[in-house]
Copies of this chain bind each other. A is one copy, B any other.
Amino acid sequence: MTSLNDLETPALVLDRGVLARNCDRMAARMNEAGVKLRPHLKTAKSAKVAETATHGHFGGVTVSTLAEARYFHERGISDLTYAVGLAAGKLDAVATLQAGGAQVTLLTDSPETLKAAGQKAAALQTDFRFLIEVDTGGLRGGVLPDSEVLIELGKYLHDTPGLSLAGVLTHAGHSYHCRGQAEIEQVAEAERAGVVLAAQRLRAAGLPCDTVSAGSTPTAICARSFEGVTEMRPGVYTFFDLDQMALGVCALEDIALSVVATVIGHNHAAQRILIDAGGLALSKDLSASEFLEHAGYGLICPLESTQPLAGLYVESVHQEHGLIAVAKGEPPYDTLPVGSRVRILPNHACMTAAAYNSYHVVDGGQDVVDAWDRINGWY
């Protein structure tokens, strides 16, 4: 059987046991809360992960690209929320997907997009179903929950032939920058209260609002109440990463994703150990550094575990080089001879995984037990 030692490096490794535990825990939490889990598959982009992540729930998923929508639909998932503000130029592709049997729920906060969608629906003799994006503090997409434009968008969707109002959606992405559980709880409550307020206002205006969708991994894990919310859309909890660990929403042993690299040199003058995984293999995301000193571009583990070697991290990257340093003093050249291999825990699983077309799947050990594909790109 192939082992981590036989892989060509850099290689992306996913532990399916850890994945399953992460998914089970989130599914149970959402079931206890009486909330549907619509996992965001932008992290994994993989049908095999979708299978695990939808287990015990209704089967709907969230995607971040139409390429994901097409890929998952071809693999049997028909209830898809495309949770990025729609560019109307993508409506032909959406219509094609729907003609094939997919139900793609779209997102916008823009009257211009809805006008274009209404015209496109008429031209193609099809229907487009939208969620209105609500900004509950993330300062990304969305109208404010108490704004007039929310009601205007709702009315336009309800009144325009070919368009329909599915509900409201928000994403408290700023939960990634909270310091401590109490602060995440506050953001989670603001996310819940904001999106529920938006739903109540639409309903008070005589408009339908079946779906009240919220969620990021930190808020799904830390929220004290989901009252009024119908579904949550966490994503990175499937794999977790150093950023989530630094935030305090997972433990080190919950991180399911790692990159295997080979030591290619020792630079004694620079006090660095060089590996063949750099900015492309790890991404240039530095998110964990907001909370964690000496996290750099990832923490270094031996090949046989995902327990970091004390103080060792990827201090800098070039396109194909990673430079390992130790927090204090000389790196342990003897522990990591040239030709040996390391496993790197990534800062941000979504960004790191995106450089690879597939996962080498392990189950707690070093044996590679399966290969799972991924769908990258946009169209």
Residues of A within 8 A of B (CB): 8-10, 42, 64-65, 84-90, 93, 108-110, 112-113, 116, 133, 135, 139-142, 144, 173, 262-267, 269-270, 272, 274, 276, 279-281, 283-286, 318-321, 323, 337-339, 350-351, 354-357, 377-379
Contact = CB atoms under 8 A, between A and B. Distances in A.
Contact of A264 (B64, B141, B267, B279): B141
Q: Chain A interface secondary structure, helix, strand, loop or mixed?
A: loop
12 contacts: A9-B87, A64-B320, A65-B320, A87-B262, A112-B338, A113-B339, A140-B267, A140-B272, A140-B321, A173-B318, A284-B284, A354-B355
Contacts of A279: 285, 351
Given A85-B274, A135-B267, 8 more contacts: A84-B276, A87-B263, A89-B262, A110-B264, A113-B264, A141-B265, A283-B284, A319-B351
A230 to B, nearest CB: 23
Copies of this chain, whole number: 2
Contacts of A354: 280, 355
A141 B351 contact: no
A78 to B, nearest CB: 22
Contacts of A88: 339
A232 to B, nearest CB: 18
Contacts of A262: 87, 89
A5 to B, nearest CB: 9
A265 B110 contact: yes
Nearest to A171: B318
A378 B8 contact: yes
A108 B339 contact: no
B284 A9 contact: no
Contact of A84 (B142, B270, B321, B337): B321
A8 B88 CA distance: 11
Given A279-B351, A285-B284, A339-B88, A266 B135 contact: no
Contacts of A139: 267, 269-270, 272
Nearest to A281: B378
A264 B8 CA distance: 40
A225 to B, nearest CB: 25
Contacts of A284: 283-286, 351
Contact of A112 (B272, B318, B337): B337
